[in-house]
Amino acid sequence: MKAEPRPASERLLAALLALVAFGLYLPSFGGGFLWDDDTFLTRNPLIHAADGLWRLWFTREAPDYFPLTSSMLWVEWRLFGEHAFGYRAVNAALHAVGAVLVWRVLARLGVRGAFGAALLFAAHPVCVESVAWITERKNTLSFALCAAAALAHLRSEDEPDSRRLRWSAFGLFTLALLAKTSAVVLPPMLLLCAWWRRGRVGAADLRRLAPLFGVALVLGAVTVWFQSTVAIRETVVRDDGLVSRVLLAGRAVWFYLGKALAPLELSFVYPRWKLGETSADAVLPAALLAITLLTLWLQRASWGRGALFALATFVIALAPTLGLLDVYFMRYSLVADHWQYFALPSVTAFVAAAASLALERLRMPRLAPLLLALAALAAGVASVQRQRAFVSEEALWRDTLERNPQAWIAHNEVGLLRHDQGRLEDASVHLADAVRVAPEQAELRFNLGVTLQRLRRHPEAVAQFDMALQLDPRSAAAHNALGSSQLALGRRELALESYRAALARDPKLVAAHNNLGNTCYALGRMEEALAHYESALALNPQHVEALANSGSALQELGRLEEALARHERVVQLHARRAPAHFNLGNALRELGRVEEARRAYERALELDPKLEGARFFLGELQRGGAQAPAERASSR
């Protein structure tokens, strides 16, 4: 059966709606990658690998199991590479498609002001987090597919003999689940749509939706398993019980409703609510929600019908992120703007319908589109302003700290940015603030310790690493970093213990093999040092430090030709690395290849004029002080 032709006016309105939804996000297109965009995209080996598609679908290597979203990013990586513009544009395009489909679904349901509701959704600032953050591609893609599936299902109800539409709904819904499993909310929402349209839910409705419930159950279970065994594993996201979770879920519903109706003071990370509280204040939001739903149900035959439909679909759409199941982001906040993306159309539809109905009763129906357009304009201005926080990581975390000074993740991320910029003192201040806010987080202790280590404040670094290991004794990285500070303090035996502890927890930690080799080298245990360097190189043949260090160990052992080959390899890999040319010069000098050694030292000084060792040996060579290999060997 062919799709019904649309009147020209509807096509024009659809184009206008899509243009508004897409155009509002043009200011964000010049922004860069944010926070965990590296995990999901820019540093995701599966996205870069030629066989990545297979591994994204059929292995547990991905950070999360959203294989359709990841596959889309795999394709886009080959188109856009490290240019964020393309990914952001696709997100905006999907948002535009979703907005148009919201309009068609609401129109199919007979909701007043359907176009205005879709326009409000398109322009709403709560959506910025989902559209301007590339990682939330899973939201924009899954939502558009969900809306398309809903439209196909509703059309199939009006055309009961259309198997094509039923199969289309099933296929689109399955794809939506594979983009993001939060789409599991669609079948119960479609049951509510059946009640809205016919005043009851019958056996035929259940039969039509049974395949959707089935695939939702299967893929939902896969996601819960994947989250618990791969994404979250042993991380403690929340430690409160069921009663606390139910009470906080009630509070979350009102929070989201407030942000949908008055999107003020939006934040990437909101203050994290207290867990486990069961006081009267904690009980009130959940109790009020239950009373409201019950009241609307009792009034469903009259004034409560529309409000009940809107609130019930709103709550169902939020259900996966209300906290009854752990979501990793809840380590930082129990609520987030991007979790409301699926639920927002319920609110915009209610607002548009209520405004349209009220103005009809006031005999001013033509005023409704104007008022909704003005509301959408105000929302669009707020969205453009909100996008300023999503142009860069710096802007995102600064905005977060302005709105939530206790956001430890923001302090941590600003600290890491400062660390990477070489602004170590500033980094230590932010990382210390993060530790102050969340002293129980081992990763914060570790990050602060690494920065203190680079500042050569090793006693303080040791204290942080010790605390990190008390909180998480399994951390190989913390054991390894502790060993480096112990070594800097001259505690070589303690350093050996730390490096061995790191390797006991992660035998593939290349840095620990290299560092253990360095410690053995400092203790004069050259054969043992070389063995550890070789272990590092077996894991990563191009590890520059291990290559250079193994070359030095081979020199000490008198294996000069092998040492020379290692140093030449380092120079090939890092031709602008001054120490590489210096080490190469040393190996050549010991082999008696004076002219080549001189050129290596000269190149080292070109790259780093302060390299005194190269200047000294170059002077020795110019004075004719180079010794034969046998004489050098005997002098050791």
CA distance from start to end of the chain: 89
pLDDT in the model for residue 614: 81
pLDDT in the model for residue 470: 95
d(CA 460, CA 223): 41
Instruction: Please provide the DSSP assignment of 339-372 as one string.
Output: GGTTTHHHHHHHHHHHHHHHHHHTT-TTHHHHHH
Instruction: Give me the chain's average pLDDT, please.
Output: 91
pLDDT tens digits, 175-195: 999 999 999 999 999 999 999
Residue 629 pLDDT exceeds 50: no
pLDDT in the model for residue 635: 24
pLDDT tens digits, 391-434: 999 999 999 999 999 999 999 999 999 999 999 999 999 999 99
pLDDT in the model for residue 530: 94
Instruction: Please provide the DSSP assignment of 372-439 as one string.
Output: HHHHHHHHHHHHHHHGGGGS-HHHHHHHHHHH-TT-HHHHHHHHHHHHHTT-HHHHHHHHHHHHHH-T
Q: Which residue has the tokens 């730390």?
A: 498
pLDDT tens digits, 55-103: 999 998 888 889 999 999 999 999 999 999 999 999 999 999 999 999 9
pLDDT in the model for residue 231: 66
pLDDT tens digits, 227-242: 777 766 667 778 888 9
CATH of 558-636, one of 2.70.98.10, 1.10.10.10, 1.25.40.10, 3.30.465.10: 1.25.40.10
Look at residue 113 and give its three-state secondary structure.
coil
Find all residues with CB under 8 Å of 314, minimum gap 6, and list them: 253, 256, 257, 343, 346, 347
Query: Comparing 405 with 158, which gets the higher pLDDT?
Result: 405
pLDDT in the model for residue 4: 52
pLDDT in the model for residue 512: 94
Confidence band, pLDDT 50/70/90 cuts, at residue 636: very low
pLDDT in the model for residue 621: 81
100-113 mean pLDDT: 96
pLDDT tens digits, 258-295: 999 999 999 999 999 988 877 888 899 999 999 999 99
pLDDT in the model for residue 594: 87
Compute CA distances 239 → 275, 276, 305, whole Å. Answer: 8, 8, 38
Find all residues with CB under 8 Å of 96, minimum gap 6, and list them: 17, 18, 19, 21, 22, 122
Find all residues with CB under 8 Å of 405, minimum gap 6, and list them: none
Backbone conformation region of residue 407, classed left if phi is above 0, alpha if psi is from -120 to 50, else beta: beta
Q: Of 34-38, 246-250, 277-281, 359-363, which range is least confident?
A: 277-281
571-578 mean pLDDT: 87
30-38 mean pLDDT: 93
Crossing angle of helices 186-198/304-318, nearest 10°? 170
pLDDT in the model for residue 630: 27
Instruction: Please provide the DSSP assignment of 480-525 as one string.
Output: HHHHHHHHHTT-HHHHHHHHHHHHHH-TT-HHHHHHHHHHHHHTT-
pLDDT in the model for residue 234: 67
Residue 453 has a CB neighbour count (10 Å cut-off) of: 21
480 near 515, Cβ under 8 Å?
A: yes
Q: What are phi and psi of 265, to 5 degrees?
A: 50, 45
The token duo for 234 is: 């042993």
DSSP character for 40?
A: I
Instruction: Please provide the DSSP assignment of 48-101 as one string.
Output: HSTTHHHHHHHSS-SSS--HHHHHHHHHHHHHHTT-HHHHHHHHHHHHHHHHHH
User: Model pTM greater than 0.85?
Assistant: yes
Backbone conformation region of residue 265, classed left if phi is above 0, alpha if psi is from -120 to 50, else beta: left
The token duo for 520 is: 């053995």
117 near 103, Cβ under 8 Å?
A: yes
Burial class (CB in 10 A: 0-12, 13-18, 19+), 148: buried
The residue extents of the domains of the chain are: 8-393, 558-636
Confidence band, pLDDT 50/70/90 cuts, at residue 625: low
pLDDT in the model for residue 239: 82
